[in-house]
Amino acid sequence: MKLTKDQIAEIKSQQSQSNSTKRVTVPELEKILYEAIPALDHGFVRVVDYMGDDTSIVQSARVSYGKGTKQVSTDSGLIKYLMRHWHSTPFEMCEIKYHIKLPIFIARQWIRHRTANVNEYSARYSILDKEFYLPTKENLAAQSKSNRQGRGDVLEGDQANEVLELLKNDAERTYANYETMLNEKYDGSTIDDNKKGLARELARMNLTLNTYTQWYWKTDLLNLMNFLRLRADHHAQYEIRVYADIMLDTLKRWVPITYEAFMDYRVGGTEVSAKGKVIIQKLIKGQEVNVDSSGLSKREWNELMIAFDLQEKIV
């Protein structure tokens, strides 16, 4: 990831601010506030603002005036209780705002999470950066044969080189055509004084989906955790998981008690259906159970067995 001199200067200016406030602040999150944390080859994640902390969740749950004389352990117990019993509203009292640079195809996947406020870089108003995402060879994989939205074996040798070359050449060619249609270079210079440039809102449609865009993404803590539970999971697409892992670290810095409860009950926990619960109860009692008598589909059965490391997977 490369930042321009203007971007570096802007970040240093933001980090040099010293403001007095009566609102809660979080020292660990303040340490990385405004910092551009690298993601993929040209992307980044920046925390640019936040509101609240762990005590804000507790305060909301108790509808109290402030911290009072409660111990941290008391707050921890309440937050764990809220998480364990899916009491969601108190977590909505905290908010965080990110500045994110990401490939367009990941942005289109990300925007499926509709519970955030988003303002994206306008390619109708400005020219998109001449930067494209190119995967590393270890992240070039064939289509999975068992999962329609997943990856299979890693491509190797000449085939991997060919794919990378195609991705690079296509991106560079379409961007060159983009500049030609605009009659304007990325640096702002005009290509041909005798030609009119095509409207930016039309020229942009020619760009490849690995072109980088940027947005400000603001959400509350509850919906951030919903996002991270799906996108930091090992089943998620690698490229979006890179961003989610960075954001997971910001969550830990921001609300460490909530992070611990989230990792325990949401990320590390397992949901069990009513039928699954009956099967577990029978196994504990030493009773014999099998997929045919369980009332579960083969897929549900396998997921239950894998979650509790009970039996061999049924194909």
Q: Give the torsion through C-alpha atoms of 245, 247, 252, 253, to 10 deg.
A: 130
Q: b/e per residue, 236-249, with b = 16+ CB within 10 A?
A: beebbbbbbebbbe
Cβ-contact 166, 175 below 8 angstroms: no
Q: Which residue type is seen at 174?
A: T
Cβ-contact 3, 36 below 8 angstroms: yes
Q: Which residues belong to the active site? A: 231
Measure CA 226 to chain center.
10
